[in-house]
Amino acid sequence: MSNAKQSPVAILMGSDSDLPVMESCVKQLKEFGIDPIVRILSAHRTPAVACEFAASAADNGIKVIIAAAGMAAHLAGAMAAHSQLPIIGVPMQAKEGPCGLDALLSTVQMPPGMPVGTMAIGKAGAKNAAVYALQILALSDAACAEQLVAFRKAQTEKVLAKDAELNS
């Protein structure tokens, strides 16, 4: 995707194989009215480009970076090393290996002073990353705060409707 696009949220993936899972993150952000920047950048295969992206993100209007990666899962940590923006990590399950636990541990075990807000493995984590990004943006953006209130209200109403249906 073009670097010229402006958005307060960027979604980075270490591989195109992560896109089917991260589509739920993109979809959720778009439902909030946020059209994210989406890139495929690797901490290992494109380290200079990934580093430059992180270093220039704030100057390009980005306020939150969501980084999804599997296996060694160093993308979120690399973003945190090169940016002072909030970084949200989404561990991804590789085709082989310990069901994403390797990526989870790699993403969550950051050294002191280099935090990454780490979500659950896979689609649930991808969707929660979008909600968490909205929560961060809502701290200083009234429109995002309204979106968050509406989202939470809709969740409550959905559960109460299912409860009513079950108990009718």
Q: Is the pLDDT of residue 151 over 50?
A: yes
| Lowest-pLDDT choice from 16-20, 87-91, 97-101 | 97-101
pLDDT at 147: 97
Q: Residues 14-26: what's their mean pLDDT? A: 96
pLDDT category of residue 121 using cuts at 50, 70 and 90: very high
pLDDT at 3: 52
Calpha distance 100→70 (Å, rounded): 7
Backbone angles phi, psi at 91, to 5 degrees: -70, 140
Q: What is the mean pLDDT of the chain?
A: 95
Which pLDDT tens digit goes with each residue over 46-88? 999 999 999 999 999 999 999 999 988 999 999 999 999 999 9
pLDDT at 95: 81
Tokens of 62: 């980005």
Which among 3, 7, 9 is positioned nearest to 131, based on CA atoms?
9
In the three-class reduction of DSSP (H, G, I as helix; E, B as strand; rest coil), residue 157 is classed as: helix
Q: Is the pLDDT of residue 104 over 70?
A: yes
Q: Is the pLDDT of residue 1 over 50?
A: no
Element (H, E) at 81: helix 75-82
Percentage of the chain beyond pLDDT 70 is 98
9-166 placed in CATH 3.40.109.10: no
C-alpha distances in Å from residue 92, one per residue of 22, 38, 59, 76, 119:
9, 16, 28, 12, 10
Q: Is the pLDDT of residue 108 over 80?
A: yes
Q: Is the pLDDT of residue 143 over 80?
A: yes
Q: Residues 33-41: what's their mean pLDDT? A: 98
Q: Is the pLDDT of residue 2 over 60?
A: no
Tokens of 44: 């290992």
Calpha distance 95→102 (Å, rounded): 12
